[in-house]
Amino acid sequence: MLIYDLDFAALTQIVTAWGQPAFRARQIWTGLYKNFWQSPDEFTNLPLALREKLATELQFDILTPTLKLDSSDGQTRKTLFKLPDGRQIEAVLMRYDRRRTLCISTQVGCAMGCTFCATGQMGFTRHLSSGEIVAQVMYYARLLHAEKDVVTNVVLMGMGEPFHNYDNTMIAIDRLNDSEGYNFGARRFTISTSGLVPAIRQFAAEKRQVNLAVSLHATDDGLRGGMMPINKKYNVAELIEACRDYVEATGRRITFEWALINGVNDTPEQARKLAYLLKGLLCHVNAIPLNPTTGYEGKATTHERALAFQQILEQNGIPCTIRIRRGIDIQAGCGQLASRVE
């Protein structure tokens, strides 16, 4: 059993079943989430017999880095991890001024099939457990801790659709948010979804402080359905209605992701349609030139076209940021490295 799959109550139950006092569970929890220890040998505050028991009964380090790539500017690191079953996932560290943002996977592959996404082109293999999601964050937290630095943001936007693996994703967030453990603030998490309307409504009902981002990329069903098959199940009108209900229920701003594809969805007409669609909604548009993938022929927009797109949105009262593409030289887009290796 992976130790990161355990919440504190479950860990305490296991430790006391071994005949150990309950306070030993707190020592283990602190070692994992505050000291970033990754091996029973590091828990020198525990009796040797307990350390040996931990080593034989629980798995600690289940992520085996098989490939690490650093971007030429030194600001992005992508790591390919091998899991015990031989499957591979990836996670990315991006440095923006004072921010240290992680992009974390929630599945091996993805069932959504978005045509421009390398993970979508891979197909779906399996869900990650909550512990496998947590372990990715702790891997980079440990790396940054050694540099006297810290993680500032976690985006669940790597391989997979987080809302397709809803329960494990939320359990992982809750575990990382635990004030007695890693204590990572809820508002520093962002979940990105391709538009699973029932999950958005469930998420809204829970009124979490976690940020929500929706991959939109087109305003009409014909164009969006051609890029994102999920649109055939939950069309643009249903999706935007759910987003409006989310904002009304939570009072929180929603982010719309928009991959700018040259000549496809980066035109002035598309910008005007988007502004009309989002009118009156508490939101923000994150526009980013498309990350190229071998399985999709579309090209990234130009800087000039991106600025024109942004200007039209802002003139119509829709805040828009042109995001900087990171790690293009190391295939840092979702699933690009894993799909290449596969």
**Catalytic center residues:** 90, 334
Element housing 72 (H / E)? none
Residues 32 and 53: their CA atoms lie apart, in Å, by 16
181, 183, 184, 187: CA torsion to nearest 10 = 140
SS3 213: strand
Tell me the two tokens of residue 298: 């579309």
Percent helix, strand and coil across the chain, each to the nearest 5: 45, 20, 35
Residues 28 and 193: their CA atoms lie apart, in Å, by 34
Tell me the two tokens of residue 48: 């040797």
Residues 136 and 87: their CA atoms lie apart, in Å, by 14
Q: Which residue has the tokens 């690490």?
A: 68
- Could you tell me if 192 and 158 are in contact, meaning their C-beta atoms sit under 8 angstroms apart? no
34, 38, 42, 47: CA torsion to nearest 10 = 90
Residues 66 and 86: their CA atoms lie apart, in Å, by 11
Q: How far is CA 326 from the centre of its chain?
A: 15
